[in-house]
Structure 1
Amino acid sequence: MIRSRGRGVACRSQRLTGGNVMETVGLSRRQVLGIAVGAGGLAFPGRFEAAFAQGLKPTPGEILGPFYPVIKTVEQGADLTVVPGKPGRAAGQIIHMMGRVLNVQGDPIKGARVELWQANTHGRYTHPSDKNPAPLDPNFEGFAVQNSDAEGRYRFKTIKPGAYPTNTPNWVRPPHLHFEVTGKVNRLITQMYFPGETLNDKDLLLQNLRNNRDGAIAKVRPPTADVEPESRIVVWDIVLDKG
């Protein structure tokens, strides 16, 4: 049995007024330059120099998807590998997901709300509508939220999600993370992909991105001394139009 394909609404950056989505903001398309993030042995510079400020493209928007969490715990920390009250740890490859929320000028966005949701290592979501026969993980809920700090930084500890089939013939979704990011002006719904995945080249959603497709793909780095030696650091800046 395979999962049904969702009919999420395609969302790109949207301008917010008084907390409500008011209008779609056209996305400027400029040259993307470098990523400046990290933790432990990785440095977070305060902002890009003026020469780089001309080069940031907004992160491309994608569909919400059918498995946005309907049940959320009241307190959400940044560690998805454990569930409060349960002694175990989530199965799978630990990743430290980190980056900054920026505007196209390279300025950090303080206090942006960053929501993350994802499938478990077997490719199944903790969602009542997910009919994938892959097993659930009792030690993984697959959702977290936090606010970016004064330098626009965010960080989650989670696991690399598994691939999963859709109801479209021959379409298996590659490992990916879902994000909803709400800044002071813009709201972005998007998905982040891992580099080097064979399924990336066949994914209908990723390949449908006509502008800044590279902006949807993270960088993966070896672990630093302050994290698990078998883990990986996944680096991905999120660029909003106005912030």
Structure 2
Amino acid sequence: MSHNSRRHFIKNLAAGTLAGAFAGTAQAQTLLTPREMEGPYYPITPQKDQDADLTRVAGKSGVAQGTHIEIAGQVFDHEGNTVEDVTLDLWQANAFGKYHHPHDTSDAPVDEHFQAWAIIQSGKQGRFRFKTVFPGAYPLNAASQRTPHIHLKASKLGYDSLLTQLYFPDHPLNQKDGLFMRKSAQEQALMTVRRTERENHYLYNLILQKIPL
């Protein structure tokens, strides 16, 4: 992709207009959401409540601590077509940077009112939406932390499964995060949610590779 085409794509992407990004250049059709490692804390404890509102847990009256946010978006294939019925499996740390996972032995508190894990599907025109808390940074060691992020797996028959992480714009830890900084500026843009005019509301679009028949 040429320098001008890349600037056009990222400009449209930052504005949340993925259709415009695809229209900017035919070569943009080859761009896919970058892959990322799963990390050590994929949920292993069964839970019945896996709906799109992670700020509440079924059967409990309280709400999750921290800043509540909403993330909405669409799933596209590499040709710009929307994709319905994609399974989105997502998990993250709570507002204190603690995963609801037995292997997370940090001193940060567990929030029993935070759902921590959801499995949802993209609907009409590939749209999805979920409510959660802004994830806290979690410690890698005494000297460093991982920047706030959300893990996501996307899968549907006929498409390459995707494992990725969502990042947040302009967070000061982004520039210190090894995984984030290994990505190019274009890849970082594809993995970073975008603010909207609504407070604590973000947009995020996924681009999957369709498997040729």
Scaled by the length of structure 2, the TM-score of the pair is 0.85
Shift of 1:95: 0.7
Counterpart AA for 2:196: R
Q: How many residues align?
A: 200
Q: Distance in 2 between matches of 1:94 and 1:239?
A: 26
Equivalent residue for 1:61?
35
Unaligned 5+ segments in structure 2 are none
Q: Comparing both structures, which one devotes a greater share of its residues to helix?
A: 2
Equivalent residue for 2:194?
219
Counterpart AA for 2:181: Q
Equivalent residue for 1:15?
none
Given that residues 49 and 115 in structure 2 are in contact (C-alpha distance below 8 angstroms), is that contact kept between their aligned partners in structure 1?
no
Given that residues 92 and 150 in structure 2 are in contact (C-alpha distance below 8 angstroms), is that contact kept between their aligned partners in structure 1?
yes
Given that residues 82 and 126 in structure 2 are in contact (C-alpha distance below 8 angstroms), is that contact kept between their aligned partners in structure 1?
yes
Alignment of 1:1-243 (within 5 A): 31=6, 32-33=9-10, 34-35=12-13, 51-52=23-24, 54=26, 55-56=28-29, 57-167=31-141, 170-184=143-157, 185-210=159-184, 212-223=187-198, 231-242=199-210
Shift of 1:105: 1.3
For the aligned residue pairs, the C-alpha RMSD in angstroms reads 2.4
Query: What do residues 166-210 of structure 1 show as CA deviations (whole Å, max 9, x unaligned)?
Result: 03x632111110000013311011101000101000100111124
Given that residues 52 and 118 in structure 2 are in contact (C-alpha distance below 8 angstroms), is that contact kept between their aligned partners in structure 1?
yes
Query: What do residues 36-70 of structure 1 show as CA deviations (whole Å, max 9, x unaligned)?
Result: 999xxxxx99x669734732521110000000001
Given that residues 36 and 99 in structure 1 are in contact (C-alpha distance below 8 angstroms), is that contact kept between their aligned partners in structure 2?
no
Counterpart AA for 2:206: I
Query: What do residues 134-189 of structure 1 show as CA deviations (whole Å, max 9, x unaligned)?
Result: 1110101310011111301111011100111103x632111110000013311011
Structure 1 ranges of 4+ moved more than 4 A: 35-38, 47-50
Shift of 1:75: 4.5
SS at match of 1:212: helix
SS at match of 2:124: coil
Shift of 1:213: 2.1
Given that residues 195 and 201 in structure 2 are in contact (C-alpha distance below 8 angstroms), is that contact kept between their aligned partners in structure 1?
yes
Q: Distance in 2 between matches of 1:97 and 1:155?
A: 6
Q: Distance in 1 between matches of 2:194 and 2:133?
A: 15
Unaligned 5+ segments in structure 1 are 1-29, 39-43, 224-230
SS at match of 1:77: coil
The share of aligned pairs that are identical, in percent, is: 35
